Structure 1
């Protein structure tokens, strides 16, 4: 399922152009020095990846807790179902309001981000990327669900890391060339993204059902362990 994270990142980066593209384009890079500019951009990306890895670690740890209570398969099914519903029934999720504490947190992130964008110190690029990773984004939420269903802190962190890696090529191009993608091309990619999300959601549901299909839908882990235990007795 890790490959789904990379697909999210690669295709979702067209969505990122609209959300985070302005931040990437406003990076105070040294355009007179190509080598310095490259490392400044990479520092920004490393900051984003660090945030994604931390988020993936936390949600992977949460998923691990669910697994210990025997909910591994159910979490995978719920994750896939939520992915599908967000695409097929978006109005159900558009009306969800963030709590005041989360709203305040996002406001503080945006304020800190605004200050760092005016800072031309080399250390600022990592900080900008780190803060950028915490901004609300529907695509990141989808990746977080994938990290949650991994039921493993390391795998959850790796899932989010791969998601972030997938966004690097296009986000880097934005810094160098601005908003280069044509409106028609971006529109077509935006139309593909929901289809990819639904397909990946179906894969998560199949994985949770434990149908015994190799790689795609392995047997229910808990049931397998119980049967093994009975055999030992």
Structure 2
């Protein structure tokens, strides 16, 4: 089956942490200074909400592609989705490494939806209760993000609701260490993500994953 492996998605989420810190760093830092005596619970709640949104997104996209495959010629559409997901993965790697701003422009496609969701998230700020942090995380899971868009295309390529959910969950779990650490070591991690060697390693590794999948597609 043509699909990006769960391990590749996990690694992409993990190495994409330099991007996660920029997209989610502000809200994670805000949660870290909220809720006296509840900071760990608030951080866990935020990430649970975010993972729930990713999993739901994957299930919806995987289910949609499963329905679409039943309506159209199976193989060409499958190959196209797989190739597009990996091209975006390569672009994402170049973006993380600082060689291209293309993904940043792609992220703007999700701005109309985010303009409607962002005011909803503000209703739960400042976060005072774990339930509020879960809601903020669930909403923040839909923030325009090239990293998420790449994983979303991979979810589409699974051709099933369960496969799409697993794909997005694997990706989300990969982002988890960075954002959990962000809550405790915000300043140090922000400095680390600016270091050129860190960005190069993360970006070029993500590029290599995308190119490897594309090479396998051509060979097969």
TM-score by length of structure 2 reads 0.80
Matched residues in 1 for 2:172 and 2:107: separation?
26
Which segments of 5 or more consecutive residues in structure 2 lack a partner in the other structure?
A: none
Give the aligned partner of residue 42 of structure 1: 44
Q: Check 1:132–1:39 CA distance in 2 against 1; reply closer, same or farther (3 A cut).
A: same
The answer to whether the Cα contact below 8 Å between 2:21 and 2:179 also exists between their aligned partners in 1 is yes
Tell me the equivalent position of 1:51.
Answer: 53
Q: 1:207 Cα shift? A: 4.7
Shift in CA distance, 143/29, structure 1 to aligned 2, threshold 3 Å: same
* Richer in helix (by share): 2
Cα deviation, 1:188-215, whole Å, max 9, x if unaligned, reads: 222223322322222332454462xxxx
Q: Is the 8 A contact 1:8 1:166 kept in 2?
A: yes
- Whether 1:196 and 2:196 are equivalent positions in the alignment is no
**What does 1:207-218 correspond to in 2, within 5 Å?**
207-209=216-218, 211=220
Find the aligned partners of 2:81 and 2:172 in 1 and give their Cα distance. Answer: 23
Q: How many residues align?
A: 206
Mapped pair 1:30 → 2:35: yes
Q: CA contact under 8 A between 2:45 and 2:134: conserved in structure 1?
A: yes
How far off is 1:73 after superposition? Answer: 2.8
Closer, same or farther in 2 for the Cα pair 1:97/1:152, shift >3 Å? Answer: closer
Partner of 1:218: none
Counterpart mapping for 1:4-83 below 5 A = 4-27=8-31, 29-31=34-36, 33=37, 36-68=38-70, 69-70=73-74, 71-83=77-89
Cα RMSD for the two superposed structures: 2.7
The Cα of 1:20 is off from its aligned counterpart by 0.7
* SS of structure 2 residue aligned to 1:141: helix
Q: Does the 8 Å CA contact 2:62/2:156 hold for their aligned counterparts? A: yes
Q: Residue 150 of structure 1 aligns to a residue in which SS?
A: coil
The alpha-carbon distance between structure 1 residues 185 and 43, as it changes in their structure 2 partners (threshold 3 A), is: closer
What is the alpha-carbon distance in structure 1 between the residues aligned to residue 215 and residue 63 of structure 2? 22
Distance 1:197 1:90 in 2: 14
2:126 maps to which of 107, 118, 125? 118
Residue 230 (structure 1) aligns with: none
Q: Do 1:44 and 1:126's aligned partners in 2 also have CA atoms closer than 8 Å?
A: yes
Structure 1 portions without partners, runs of 5+? 212-233
Contact 1:79 1:204 (8 Å CA) reproduced: no
Q: Is residue 2:182 matched to residue 1:174?
A: yes
Residue 137 (str. 1) matches residue 117 (str. 2): no
1:84–1:197 contact (8 Å) kept in structure 2: yes
Question: Equivalent residue for 2:171?
Answer: 163
